[in-house]
Amino acid sequence: VAKDITKQRSFSEKLEESEKRYRNLVDTVNSGVAIYKVVNEGQSGSDYIIQDFNQFALSHEKMSREEVVGKSLKEIRPNIDEFGLIDIFREVWKTGESKFFPARVYVDEKYSNYYENRVFRLPNKEIVAIYDDVTERESARLKLAESEAKLKRIIENSTNLFFAHSVDHKMTFISPQVKEYLGYDPDEVMDDWTKFISRNPINEKALEFTKIAIETGKRQPTYELEMLRKDGKPIIVEVREAPIVENGKVVSIVGSLADITDRKEAEKKIIAQNEEYEVLNEELQQTNAQLSATIAREEEINDRYHKAMVASSDGIFDWNLITNEIYYSPRWKSLLGYSEDELPDDFSVWETLTEQEDVNRSWKMLNELIDGKIDKFDIEFKQRHKDGHWVDIHSRADVFRNEKGEAVRVVGTHTDITERKKADALLRKSEQNLQLSDSRYRKAEEIGKVGNWEFNVVTEQFWASDESKRIYGFDVNSKSFSTEEVESCIPERERVHQALIDLIEKDKPYNLEFDIITNDKGVRKTITSVAELIKDENGVPQKIIGVIQDVTERVQLINELKKAKEKAEESDRLKSAFLANMSHEIRTPMNGILGFADLLKRPDLNSDSQQKYISIIEDSGARMLGIINDIIDISKIEAGLMELNLQKTNVNEQIEYIYTFFKPEMESKGLGFKFITPLTAKEATIISDSEKLYAILTNLIKNAIKYTENGFIELGYELVNSGEPDSETEAKESDFLQFYVKDSGIGIPYERQEAVFERFIQADIEDKMAHQGAGLGLAITKNYVEKLGGKIWVESEKNVGSVFYFTIPYNVRPLSEVNSGEREVPSENNVVPALKILIAEDDEVSEMLLTEILSQFSNEILRAGTGREAVKICHDNDDIDLILMDLRMPDMGGFDAVQEIRAFNKDVVIIAQTAYGLEGDREKSLHAGCTDYIAKPINKLELYNMIYKYFGKK
């Protein structure tokens, strides 16, 4: 009996252990698990008694196991019938077949979460329900649907038409704007899109662009296309399209159309206006010729008229100087509307009918003629007509003398020149109008940067307007402006020449856009040229008239807009990729830190596991700190705040230090590691920024380790283009050190080798197998190298390995000119006396950490939470040996506090500490009066080395 009890107890213990394992397993499942027993199944009041809830289900229901076990499902969920769960339980219990169904529950009459339920029956006919909360996924799906709806609304409300078609031109999508653009319903155009275009020659180029896009997978330039509406009316559209590539193959073309018919019509109107200006110019030239002919004819008429007057004694006056009598011929009187009897032959008649000013002028000239001072009497004046109007008279006379030379008679004629005067006035007005029209035309050309030209096909004579000369960079006053001079400014002269030949021989439209190099300044411009061939009545070409327009600014604007668009798209792509990558890179180490910190709370954790978890936390923290440092550095680079700290640097020591530091990691990974330092210690001492050189080399080594799984890594340098170096003089400006880091890693594809130096980019930023890292290391490295006056590049072969090269100037100066940048390493035999230490730190956790680290060196530790408090404690305790000063504190900052302490204590050792860790903080700290500087998170060994450095005794 005792034996049987023992067996039974052993069985019970095993059963109890098994149940514990079952309970632990079920409770760790991240899904709700519930077990029910059927009550009154098959009856109208059937219900399900809860046998068990796992921990997830209890947490979800916010109840304990005691509150639910033994109760019916309807007790804890009175509205359970509304979810359909009871019907599912009943069907599963009856059929034994498991069921899956989604459900959405609500609490307090409001919808709560979304769930996926899996229900099955156990052999003992108990019902098991397993459910998962899929609220987040369902919400994401609903948001996606909402986003798609928004996109649909944007497309529907856009003025542009959006489309997609297959590689065989079959439409696969068309936006509703097709009705407005072409008059078709969307379903009417889901066919070969080329059926809806006209036979306009511009469409040939459009089809060629689409063909190239399909063949190459590359986006083509924007082009114009003439399409036909349903009513047969043509419209001009501007097309932007792009190929969609899947698995290296173009599967479709997507794009948009913009109706530019009105704009094209406006361009035609401008051309038509230019043609009108040309016609006006021709008409003005003809008018000018007609006016010139009129003047010539007028002179001829005047001559004939004069001869006729002389021959007919028309309008004659005869003054006898001896008797002082005067005679007026009948014609003289009739010119003024009088008959012969109405006017007496007397001087008073002439003086009365003529304005006094003209009378005075005439008498003066007559006296000069009589006195022999002038040879001819020739004057114009006005005389009043009988009916009151004024008649323009041209009076000419000659003097007759006797044998003694004495004047005895003056005979002259009067000519009515009223009509001629009117003709002269009309001519002057026409000339003024012509000049004004020509001025306006030239101004219009200048403002619109539109010039005119004409080429006579028969005589091969060429003419161009002033604006045409100005556009090509020739003097507008130059008489010679030939076709040879024009062609010398056109790099694509063969294409332009051929277009003119096609215009003459084939009547092919001439409408070109091409670049020119101006004659005067050699400036590149873009112009458009449109021309028309003029033929005679027999169809024989006579001349070509054309216009050119300087469209340089418009073309530049279009190109700048394209570049800005491409840059914005690239920036958005890089930003999205970087944010996704950065999110991963920060969350990954945080997961390690938080996860293993939580595991450290387990009371049953053994020592080995504890040390392992701590090591993982330290590695994750170091990784996250590296990412933060990279972000800070790249931010300083972007802000232009990165500065050089030039000092004496021993290159050999830098490389040996890096070799010693990374060798354990190389050995643990099974990689070979070696370095080459060809110069002696004296030759290898240069003037450079040692911290940046160290950062460059460590970044490249870390990269090599990250991407090399087996093989080797090699580090070294060589002196390039150098003679014998002399430590007492500066080296040649052309001398430089060329460093290299060589590895046998995965390599970089050729097309990505330039991109790896860009911000946020790894060898393939979209690679699902991309290695950890923010993609900033090589961008920072490149900036450092260029800041030091060098350059960086990579030679690599995929799956073979990579070699990163960079150069820095081989700059050597006398020892007295710079400070030494060598690292001081304290002796292991140093002994530090007990110190009195002040910790100035406003963060409680940081203060606790420093207290623990420094406890082995101190006999007394003082604490200050603000800058002012730190100054007061130092003032009251002049025997303090060491101060750990946080640079960012409330009340008074660390920099100000250090300066006040130095005012009364010059000897105390002050080590600055900050969580910012920016380059330049060290220099600011030393300038403020700090003895040394350390960045958070505090490295225990680094702090120990500083203490040994300042307080150690052999």
CB atoms within 10 A of CB 55: 17
> Smallest Cα–Cα separation from 556: which of 534, 524, 580, 517?
524
| C-alpha to C-alpha distance for 803 and 753, rounded to whole angstroms | 11
- Looking at residue 824, its pLDDT comes to 45
Digit-coded pLDDT (tens) for 633-658 = 777 776 666 778 888 999 999 999 88
- Looking at residue 543, its pLDDT comes to 92
DSSP structure class, residue 407: E
Which CATH number belongs to the domain containing residue 904 in this structure? 3.40.50.2300
Instruction: Decide if pLDDT at 192 tops 60.
Output: yes
Of 20-34, 228-242, 462-476, the range with the highest mean pLDDT is 228-242
| Angle (deg, nearest 10), helices 894-904 and 867-876 | 20
- Looking at residue 446, its pLDDT comes to 54
Chain mean position to CA 545: 42
> Smallest Cα–Cα separation from 932: which of 900, 910, 905?
910
Q: Which of 218, 236, 259 is the last residue of a domain?
A: 259
Q: Which residues contact 486 (CB under 8 A, 6 or more apart)?
A: 462, 464, 472
What is the Cα Rg of the chain in Å?
A: 52
Instruction: Decide if pLDDT at 200 tops 80.
Output: yes
- Is 624 inside any structural domain? no
- Looking at residue 827, its pLDDT comes to 46
353 with 474, same domain: the answer is no
Name the one residue in this structure whose structure tokens are 């399209």.
241
Q: What angle do CA 538, 544, 545 make, to 5 degrees?
A: 125
- Looking at residue 730, its pLDDT comes to 46
Name the one residue in this structure whose structure tokens are 């010693």.
660
Name the one residue in this structure whose structure tokens are 């800005």.
564
Average pLDDT, the chain: 82
| C-alpha to C-alpha distance for 33 and 68, rounded to whole angstroms | 13
- Is 99 inside any structural domain? yes
Q: Which of 227, 259, 291 is the last residue of a domain?
A: 259
Query: Which tokens sit at 600?
Result: 């450290």
414 to each of 329, 357, 370, 399, 645, how far by Cα in Å?
10, 18, 19, 15, 104
Q: Which residues contact 921 (CB under 8 A, 6 or more apart)?
A: 887, 912, 914, 933, 935
864 with 805, same domain: the answer is no
- Residue 212 vs residue 426, higher pLDDT: 212
Instruction: Decide if pLDDT at 708 tops 70.
Output: yes
Q: How many domains does the chain have?
A: 6
883 with 778, same domain: the answer is no
Give the mean pLDDT of 823-840: 70
> Smallest Cα–Cα separation from 243: which of 221, 223, 214?
214
| Contact assessment for residue 213 and residue 239, using Cβ atoms and an 8 Å cutoff | no
Which CATH number belongs to the domain containing residue 70 in this structure? 3.30.450.20
> Smallest Cα–Cα separation from 450: which of 516, 548, 546?
548
Q: What angle do CA 124, 125, 128 make, to 5 degrees?
A: 105
Query: Which tokens sit at 476?
Result: 């507008």
| Contact assessment for residue 229 and residue 182, using Cβ atoms and an 8 Å cutoff | yes
- Is 118 inside any structural domain? yes
Question: What pLDDT band is residue 439 in, cutting at 50, 70 and 90?
Answer: low
391 with 458, same domain: the answer is no
Question: What pLDDT band is residue 437 in, cutting at 50, 70 and 90?
Answer: low
CB atoms within 10 A of CB 714: 16
Strands (E), 20-82: 32-39, 47-53
Q: Give the range among 98-107, 466-475, 507-516 with minimum mean pLDDT.
A: 98-107
- Looking at residue 264, its pLDDT comes to 85
CB atoms within 10 A of CB 397: 21
114 with 216, same domain: the answer is no
728 with 791, same domain: the answer is yes
Q: Give the range among 213-217, 421-425, 580-584 with minimum mean pLDDT.
A: 580-584
Name the one residue in this structure whose structure tokens are 């590895």.
743
Q: Which residues contact 788 (CB under 8 A, 6 or more apart)?
A: 644, 688, 689, 692, 693, 808, 809
| C-alpha to C-alpha distance for 900 and 898, rounded to whole angstroms | 5
> For 534, left (φ over 0), alpha (ψ -120 to 50), or beta?
beta
In the chain, % helix, strand, coil (3-state, to 5) comes to 45, 25, 30
Which residues are paired to 316 by β-bridges? 413
- Is 488 inside any structural domain? yes
- Looking at residue 821, its pLDDT comes to 43
804 with 682, same domain: the answer is yes
113 with 167, same domain: the answer is no
> Smallest Cα–Cα separation from 840: which of 887, 896, 773, 899?
887
Question: What pLDDT band is residue 862 in, cutting at 50, 70 and 90?
Answer: very high
| Contact assessment for residue 57 and residue 35, using Cβ atoms and an 8 Å cutoff | no
Give the mean pLDDT of 465-479: 82
| Contact assessment for residue 562 and residue 554, using Cβ atoms and an 8 Å cutoff | no
Cβ neighbourhood burial of 527 (10 Å; 0-12, 13-18, 19+): buried
| C-alpha to C-alpha distance for 550 and 528, rounded to whole angstroms | 7
Range of the domain at 664: 643-817
CB atoms within 10 A of CB 47: 19
Question: What pLDDT band is residue 794 in, cutting at 50, 70 and 90?
Answer: very high
928 to each of 282, 877, 898, 901, 931, how far by Cα in Å?
84, 21, 7, 10, 9
663 with 771, same domain: the answer is yes
Question: What pLDDT band is residue 615 in, cutting at 50, 70 and 90?
Answer: confident
Instruction: Decide if pLDDT at 818 tops 60.
Output: no
| Contact assessment for residue 613 and residue 600, using Cβ atoms and an 8 Å cutoff | yes
Q: Give the range among 499-503, 535-539, 637-641 with minimum mean pLDDT.
A: 637-641
Instruction: Decide if pLDDT at 444 tops 70.
Output: no
Digit-coded pLDDT (tens) for 35-80 = 989 887 655 567 889 888 888 888 877 888 888 898 888 887 777 7
Digit-coded pLDDT (tens) for 176-190 = 888 888 899 988 888
Q: Give the range among 18-22, 188-192, 874-878 with minimum mean pLDDT.
A: 18-22
- Is 171 inside any structural domain? yes
695 with 797, same domain: the answer is yes
As a whole-number percent, the residues of the chain with pLDDT over 90 amount to 27
- Looking at residue 104, its pLDDT comes to 62
- The full DSSP string for 786-809 is HHTT--EEEEEETTTEEEEEEEEE
Q: Which residues contact 934 (CB under 8 A, 6 or more apart)?
A: 911, 912, 913, 942, 943, 946
Instruction: Decide if pLDDT at 793 tops 80.
Output: yes
- Residue 358 vs residue 816, higher pLDDT: 358
| C-alpha to C-alpha distance for 156 and 170, rounded to whole angstroms | 21
657 with 795, same domain: the answer is yes
> For 450, left (φ over 0), alpha (ψ -120 to 50), or beta?
beta
CB atoms within 10 A of CB 528: 18
- Looking at residue 938, its pLDDT comes to 84
Chain mean position to CA 570: 8
Question: What pLDDT band is residue 709 in, cutting at 50, 70 and 90?
Answer: very high
For residue 828, what is the enclosing H or E element? Answer: none
673 with 775, same domain: the answer is yes
> Smallest Cα–Cα separation from 932: which of 914, 918, 916, 912?
912
- The full DSSP string for 465-509 is -HHHHHHHT--TT-S---HHHHHHT-TTHHHHHHHHHHHHHH---
- Is 723 inside any structural domain? yes
- Looking at residue 6, its pLDDT comes to 63
> Smallest Cα–Cα separation from 633: which of 584, 688, 698, 706?
698
* Dihedral sign (CA 206, 208, 214, 218): negative
Q: Which residues contact 657 (CB under 8 A, 6 or more apart)?
A: 823
Mind spelling out the 3-state secondary structure of 88-135?
HHHHHHHHCCCEEEEEEEEECCEEEEEEEEEEEECCCCCEEEEEEECH
Name the one residue in this structure whose structure tokens are 């896009």.
213
| C-alpha to C-alpha distance for 659 and 715, rounded to whole angstroms | 8
- Looking at residue 769, its pLDDT comes to 39
| C-alpha to C-alpha distance for 768 and 128, rounded to whole angstroms | 39
- Is 495 inside any structural domain? yes
Q: Give the range among 621-630, 714-723, 825-834 with minimum mean pLDDT.
A: 825-834
- Is 725 inside any structural domain? yes
| C-alpha to C-alpha distance for 677 and 656, rounded to whole angstroms | 9
Let me know how long the chain is.
954
Q: Give the range among 462-476, 497-511, 765-779, 796-810 with minimum mean pLDDT.
A: 765-779
* Dihedral sign (CA 299, 301, 303, 305): negative
Give the mean pLDDT of 853-865: 91
| C-alpha to C-alpha distance for 902 and 910, rounded to whole angstroms | 10
- Residue 385 vs residue 730, higher pLDDT: 385
**Torsion (CA) 477, 482, 483, 484 in degrees, nearest 10:** -110
Question: What pLDDT band is residue 102 in, cutting at 50, 70 and 90?
Answer: confident
Q: Which of 786, 817, 848 is the last residue of a domain?
A: 817
Name the one residue in this structure whose structure tokens are 């112009």.
527
Instruction: Decide if pLDDT at 880 tops 90.
Output: yes
Question: What pLDDT band is residue 743 in, cutting at 50, 70 and 90?
Answer: very high
DSSP structure class, residue 730: P
Which CATH number belongs to the domain containing residue 663 in this structure? 3.30.565.10
Q: Which pTM was predicted?
A: 0.36
